[in-house]
Amino acid sequence: MRYAHNVVARLEKAHPLWRVWYVPRATAPLLWCARPWAADHRFDPLCADSAEALDQAITARDRER
């Protein structure tokens, strides 16, 4: 999981307003998720099947604001 921790650190450095985490799944690759640090838990997190896709989703959400 060291790889995953490094990816979380890279994504949080690239997007400091976002909390990033991953969910290990038994039958599939990791699920990558993010939520703005300032958001409450009613805000649905962004989730993606890859770290790259999550990075793109965060970037797109930031452009909308």
Domain count, the chain: 1
Mean pLDDT across 22-35: 94
Q: What per-residue confidence (pLDDT) applies to 57?
A: 98
Evaluate whether 22 touches 5 at the Cβ level (below 8 Å). no
Residues of the chain with pLDDT > 70, as a percent, come to 98
1 pLDDT higher than 80: no
CA–CA distance, 58 with 65 (Å, rounded to integer): 11
The set of long-range contacts for 30-36, using a CB threshold of 8 Å and a minimum separation of 24, is 30/4, 32/7, 34/58
**Enclosing domain of residue 16:** 2-64
